[in-house]
C-alpha cells in the first residue's frame, strides 16, 4: 500500500497530508511533482489544499492541465482512489473527475474555522468505517468553497447516494446557519459515480491529532486505509 501526495506550485497542505499518512495512518507515502506524469506505483492519490498556480484565472483552472493530472484522470478511470481536499476538490471539479464547481463564498470573505459535518454516506472507501448521521468536527479554510451544480446533477448526486458530507450544527441538523459558504444544500463533499474519487472542502489532515485540538479527520484516513487493506487482501 502506497500513497502519493501531489505538489503544485502554491500547494501549502501537501506536507500536512504527508505527515498524517506517514505518522498517524502509518502508511508509506511519497510526494508527486505536478510536472511529472509518473505516479510511482501509488495505490491512492491525495490532491491537497493550497493555492495551486496561485489560483490564477480561477481555482484549479491551471492545475487541471498539469502532466500529473492527466495521469490522475487515467488512474481514477481505472478505479484508482483519489482524495481531493479543499483546493484539491476544486481541481478535481475543474478536471472533470467530479461534477459541479466551487464558487466564491457567500459574503465574499475567506472563511477559516472549525465546522461540523454530517456523514451522509458510508458507501465510500473514505467513510466505510463511519456511521451515517455521525457528526465530525473538521476545520475549513477557503475563499471558494460554495459548491454549485445544476438541478439534473444535484438529482443524480442524491439518487446515487454521492453526497458524502454536509455542513451541519453540532447536533447534526442541516440549517442555513450551519452553512459557512453558501454551498448548495450544505454540501461539503461528494464522490464520483464509481465512488473511488472523493472531494471535500474541510481539511481532515488538520484534525487528525490531539495536538491540533481535533481528531475526527483521522477517521477519513483510517477508513481509507482499512478499505485498501481489505481490497489488497481480496486480490491476493
Neighbours of 141 (CB within 10 A): 18
Distance CA 201, CA 165 (A): 10
Which grid coordinates belong to 120? 451522509
Distance CA 103, CA 96 (A): 16
What residues does 139 pair with on adjacent strands? 114
Nearest CA-CA partner of 101 in 12, 13, 184: 184
Choose the catalytic residue: 13, 42, 86, 191. 86
Please report which helix (H) or strand (E) contains residue 231, including its range. helix 218-235
Neighbours of 123 (CB within 10 A): 14
Residue 34 designated active-site? no
Residue 42 designated active-site? no
Nearest CA-CA partner of 79 in 195, 227, 161, 224: 195
Distance CA 151, CA 128 (A): 28
Report the sign of the C-alpha dihedral through residues 103, 172, 138, 23, in that order.
negative
Residue 229 designated active-site? no
* Alpha helices (H) in 104-217, listed in sequence order: 151-159
Please list the active-site residues. 86, 203, 205
Amino acid at each position: 500500500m502506497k500513497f502519493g501526495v501531489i505538489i503544485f506550485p502554491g500547494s501549502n497542505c501537501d506536507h500536512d497530508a504527508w505527515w498524517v499518512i506517514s505518522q498517524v495512518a502509518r502508511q508509506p507515502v511519497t510526494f508527486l511533482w505536478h510536472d511529472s506524469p509518473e505516479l510511482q506505483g501509488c495505490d491512492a492519490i491525495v490532491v491537497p489544499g493550497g493555492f495551486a498556480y496561485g489560483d490564477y484565472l480561477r481555482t484549479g483552472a491551471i492545475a487541471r492541465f498539469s502532466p500529473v493530472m492527466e495521469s490522475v484522470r487515467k488512474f481514477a478511470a481505472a478505479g484508482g482512489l483519489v482524495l481531493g481536499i479543499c483546493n484539491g476538490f476544486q481541481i478535481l471539479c475543474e478536471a472533470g473527475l467530479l461534477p459541479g464547481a466551487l464558487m466564491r463564498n457567500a459574503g465574499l470573505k475567506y472563511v477559516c474555522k472549525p465546522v461540523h459535518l454530517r456523514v451522509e454516506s458510508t458507501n465510500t472507501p473514505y467513510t466505510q468505517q463511519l456511521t451515517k448521521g455521525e457528526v465530525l468536527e473538521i476545520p475549513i479554510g477557503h475563499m471558494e468553497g460554495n459548491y454549485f451544480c445544476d438541478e439534473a446533477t444535484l438529482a443524480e448526486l442524491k439518487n446515487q447516494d454521492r453526497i458524502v458530507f454536509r455542513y451541519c450544527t453540532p447536533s447534526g441538523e442541516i440549517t442555513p446557519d450551519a452553512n459557512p459558504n453558501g454551498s448548495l444544500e450544505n454540501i461539503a463533499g461528494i464522490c464520483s459515480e464509481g465512488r473511488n474519487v472523493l472531494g471535500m472542502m474541510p481539511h481532515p489532515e488538520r484534525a487528525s491529532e490531539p495536538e491540533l485540538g481535533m481528531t475526527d479527520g483521522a477517521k477519513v484516513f483510517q477508513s481509507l486505509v482499512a478499505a485498501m487493506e481489505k481490497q489488497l487482501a481480496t486480490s491476493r
